Each structure stands twice: as C-alpha cells, then as structure tokens.
C-alpha cells in the first residue's frame, strides 16, 4: 500500500512538472483519435442516413452488420489490419504500418460501426410525420438530410461521444498498428502498457490519470454544450387546499 | 387548377381503407372530407398529397410538377425542432417576406423567434398551417385542423380559406369531424360511409345539399 501511495505522489509530480514526453504522447492520442472519429462521422452518418429509410433486404442486412461490428475486439482489428498493411500483405506497398496513419485506420474501423449503428437506430425512430413533412415541403438532398439529422441531434451526439470514448481509450489496435515508437506512435494507452511492463508504476499511474482526465473532460464539454438550455420558470409547490 | 380522381381506392399495402370512385375537385370550392374515425380521411388526403400511392385508380392534377405542388398538414401540427422561424423559412418559396406574411395570416407573427418546444398545441397547429401557406402550394391538404384552435385562430383560418377560394389557389381539401371555420366558404363535401359491413372499405359519397350556411359551427 505504501508503494502505491508513493507512486501516486510521484505521478502527480510528473503531471504538475509538465514532463514534455507525457504531453507529446497525449497529443498523439488526441490527434489520432480525433482524426479517426472525424472520418468515422464523415463516412458513418451519411451511410446511416442512406440506410435508415430503406426497407430493402440489403439495408436490413447492412443494419445488422453494423450493429454486430460494434463488438469488434480492438486486437482483432489491429491484427487484421496488420496483415493487410504488412510488407507481405496486399497493401504493404503503401508502407503505412507503424505510422499514425495505420493507427487512424484502425480506430476508424472501430469507431465507424458505433457512429453508423446508433445514428441509424435514431433515424429509424423518427416519427413518420417528420419524413412526410420533409417530403411535402419539397425538401430534398442535403437540406432534407440536414433537417432530419437535426431532429435526432441528441442521439447523434451520443453516438459521437461513445465512439470517441472507445477509440481514445483503446489499446489493441494502437499498439499493434503503431508499434509504440517513441516520439511517433506512442499514445497514452500504449505507453501505460509499456511503463507497466517496465515496472515504472509512477509513470503508468500519471499517464492513467491524464488519460482519464482528458477522456472525461472532452466528453463532459461536448455533452454540456448540448445540455445547455435556458432555465425554466420557478415552480411554486402545489398547495393543498383544506376543505 | 383541379384534381381529377378516377376509380380511386386508397389504403395501405395489406388493406384497402376507402373507395372514392370518380370525383373532380376544383379550387373555387373548399373540399371537405368527413367521416368517422378510421374511415380513411387521412389516408385519402395523404394519397392526394402524393405521400401514399393509390391502391387502385388514379389522381391527376393540373398542377405542374414542382417543388411546392401539394402540401399536407398533419393533425398533430408536427413541427421540426428549433424555432418557428426555422420552420417557416424551410417552407418559404418566397423568402422571409412570404414567411412573415404567412405568420401574420395565422396570427403567429409574435412567435417568430420562439422555440417550437415552448409552444402550446394550438400554437403549433397555427404555425403548421402558416408553414403550409408559406410554401405557396397549389394544393393544400389539411388533416383535422380544428383540434387545438381557439376562436381567433378559427376565424383567421376561415379568412385564409376565403382568400384561397377567391384567388383560385390553393385548392384546399380539409378532413374534419366538425367543420369549424368553414361557414361562409363554398364547399364541396365528401362523406366517407360504411358500405358493406365491418371489414369492407368505406365509400366516399359526395353530397351537394349541405350548403355552406348549414355548416359552420365554431
């Protein structure tokens, strides 16, 4: 127990003294996850929209597939992409293995199903009147998409936050595809794993605290931005009138 | 502007709801569709609006195919999230001026910047009607509008109908239980009645002997 407290104190010191390597690693984490998430939204939301109002077998199959893929284990994604991107693999010529590009690809594969599946469910849940009103007012194309997505902005934001949480905190794909190279492909999660195996508990704890703090802060900010509403009027307590 | 209906049967994929036969609707009279619950009023109006396909028969209108040909207003007064302004501007073919004018016609110009979530049912219905008018449609289909409207709104709505009839557009079709606000407006009425028993489709029967003066309790 004393050991743990000792390490925890050293961790706080590391954070407060602004160890540059720690912040560089945090930067890589954010850069990779934000890029992957942005791509997942750009691909996933229109995909969900195109499937949401279609009753064809293909659409139903795609919906099932997307939901199932949300459960992809991170190491499986890492391993699968590793074989595709390795020197002897079909995309080896691109030479992106052990770079941040490969890591973004892995996190994109992890984040896309979440964004798409949740958005799809939200859009399918829209009342019929929403689509009918859009049709009857002659809304089409991008305007129609914009309006209908605005109708489900709550669930849409949840989808994005959940996907961010997943990709920002995952280890399996980042470590396999990035190779944990100092100064280039180390993220908060991969370094925590590394420091833990080296027995550097203080550093691991410090990074763990930072990881939690960043993840929770980003989510809190985005969530609060949507929750802000003007305060409702004061409510007087109901008076019971004695007869 | 007129709408010619031939041998029309409306309903859903597994179930015909009403048989309308042959009818011609013109803009110089407001078409009133009455009938009990489940008789197919909404289904008929949605078919006229192009939101549903006819099960049999055809609906032919003389309006050019275009953006705001036919506008349907739900009985719930459905509005998109956001403000009254957003809803009206989405519809307004003629820009902000047309949108504001439509708001004034239904007495909701004071609600322009308000969030839809804060409106009462009646206010929503007024805004939904204003939005439909802002779209400057050739054919306007209104499903049971009298629900939440107060006396002032009903009077304003009556003025809108009178103006439409006099101007020759839009051609208005209203589905209602109680035809409120329609006093003083020339009407063409269609009643949906049960024909052959419990499970057969309703049948639309035009009736001309109801004069506008006879209809029109508020």
Task: Tell whether the model's pLDDT for residue B211 goes beyond 50.
Answer: no
| pLDDT per position as a tens digit, A96-132 | 999 999 999 999 999 999 999 999 999 999 999 999 9
Cβ within 8 Å of A, B 139-168: none
Please classify residue B168 by burial: count the beta carbons closer than 10 Å to its beta carbon, then call 0-12 exposed, 13-18 middle and 19+ buried.
Answer: exposed
What residues of B are in contact with residue A147 (Cβ under 8 Å)?
Answer: 80, 90
What does R_g of chain A's alpha carbons equal in angstroms? 23
Question: What pLDDT does residue A214 have?
Answer: 82
What residues of A are in contact with residue B85 (Cβ under 8 Å)?
Answer: none
State the DSSP H helix or E strand holding residue B34, giving kind and residue range, or none if neither.
Answer: strand B30-34
How close is the nearest chain A Cα to the Cα of B102, in Å? 15
Confidence category of residue B78, pLDDT binned at 50, 70, 90: very high
Give the structural domain span for B179. Answer: 1-63+173-212
Task: Tell whether the model's pLDDT for residue A230 goes beyond 60.
Answer: no
Average pLDDT over residues B35-55: 91
Angle at A38 between CA A35 and CA A76, to 5 degrees: 70
Question: Where does B88-201 show beta strands of DSSP type E?
Answer: 139-143, 171-176, 187-194
The DSSP symbol for B36 reads -
Question: What pLDDT does residue A2 have?
Answer: 67
**B20 occurs within a structural domain:** yes
- What number of C-beta contacts closer than 8 Å exist between A and B? 41
Asked whether the beta carbons of B44 and B20 are under 8 A apart, the reply is yes
Question: What pLDDT does residue B214 have?
Answer: 37
Average pLDDT over residues B63-84: 82
| pLDDT per position as a tens digit, B142-199 | 998 877 888 898 889 999 999 999 998 899 999 987 666 677 788 888 988 887 776 6
Helices (H), chain A: 2-16, 20-52, 57-69, 74-85, 100-124, 128-136, 141-151, 153-168, 172-178, 188-198, 201-227
Residue in chain B lying closest to A232 (CA): B118
Question: How do the domains of chain A map onto residue ranges?
Answer: 32-186
Task: Tell whether the model's pLDDT for residue A29 goes beyond 80.
Answer: yes
Residue in chain A lying closest to B136 (CA): A137
Cβ within 8 Å of B, A 92-131: 127, 129-130
Domain of B29, CATH number, reads 3.40.50.300
Average pLDDT over residues B191-211: 75
Cβ within 8 Å of B, A 9-28: none
Task: Tell whether the model's pLDDT for residue B67 goes beyond 90.
Answer: no
Confidence category of residue B95, pLDDT binned at 50, 70, 90: confident
* Mean pLDDT, chain B, integer: 86
Average pLDDT over residues B114-125: 93
Answer yes or no: do A147 and B70 touch at CB < 8 A. no
> How many domains in chain B?
1
Residue in chain B lying closest to A148 (CA): B80
Structure tokens at A220: 């809190």
Domain topology for A32-186: MetI-like fold (1.10.3720)
CA pair distance A216, B171, nearest whole angstrom: 57
């Amino acid at each position: 127990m004393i050991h743990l407290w000792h390490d925890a104190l050293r961790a706080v010191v590391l954070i407060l003294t602004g160890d540059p390597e720690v912040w560089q690693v945090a930067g890589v984490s954010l850069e990779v996850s934000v890029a992957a998430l942005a791509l997942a939204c750009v691909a996933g939301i229109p995909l969900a929209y195109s499937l949401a109002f279609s009753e064809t077998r293909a659409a139903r199959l795609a919906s099932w597939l997307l939901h199932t893929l949300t459960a992809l284990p991170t190491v499986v994604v890492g391993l699968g992409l590793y074989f595709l991107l390795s020197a002897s693999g079909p995309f080896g010529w691109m030479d992106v293995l052990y770079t941040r590009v490969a890591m973004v690809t892995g996190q994109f594969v992890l984040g896309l199903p979440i964004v798409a599946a949740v958005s799809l469910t939200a859009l399918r849940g829209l009342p019929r009147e929403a689509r009918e009103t859009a049709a009857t007012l002659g809304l089409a194309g991008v305007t129609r998409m914009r309006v209908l997505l605005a109708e489900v902005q709550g669930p849409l934001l949840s989808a994005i936050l959940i996907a961010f949480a997943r990709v920002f905190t995952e280890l399996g794909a980042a470590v396999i595809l990035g190779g944990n190279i100092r100064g280039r492909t180390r993220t908060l999660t991969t370094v925590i794993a590394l420091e833990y195996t080296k027995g550097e508990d203080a550093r691991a704890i410090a990074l763990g605290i930072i990881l939690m703090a960043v993840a929770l802060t980003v989510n809190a900010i985005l969530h609060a931005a949507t929750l802000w509403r003007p305060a409702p009027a004061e409510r007087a307590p109901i008076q019971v009138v004695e007869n | 502007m007129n709408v010619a209906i031939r041998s029309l049967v409306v309903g859903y994929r597994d179930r015909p709801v009403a048989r309308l036969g042959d009818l011609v609707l013109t803009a110089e009279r407001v078409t009133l569709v009455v009938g009990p619950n489940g008789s197919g009023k909404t289904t008929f109006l949605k078919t006229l609006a192009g939101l549903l396909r006819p099960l049999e028969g055809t609906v032919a209108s003389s309006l050019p195919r275009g953006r705001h040909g036919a506008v349907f207003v739900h009985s719930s007064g459905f509005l998109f999230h956001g403000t009254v302004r957003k809803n009206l501007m989405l519809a307004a073919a003629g820009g902000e001026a047309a949108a504001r004018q439509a708001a004034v016609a239904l007495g909701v110009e004071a609600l322009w910047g308000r969030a839809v979530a804060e409106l009462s049912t009646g206010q929503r219905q007024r805004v939904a009607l204003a939005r439909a008018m802002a779209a400057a449609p050739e054919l306007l289909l209104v499903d049971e509008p009298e629900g939440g409207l107060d006396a002032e709104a009903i009077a304003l709505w009556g003025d809108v109908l009178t103006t439409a009839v006099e101007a020759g557009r839009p051609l208005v079709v209203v589905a209602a239980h109680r035809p409120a606000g329609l006093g003083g407006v020339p009407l063409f009425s269609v009643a949906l009645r049960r024909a052959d028993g419990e499970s057969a489709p309703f049948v639309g029967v035009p009736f001309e002997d109801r004069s506008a003066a006879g209809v029109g309790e508020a």
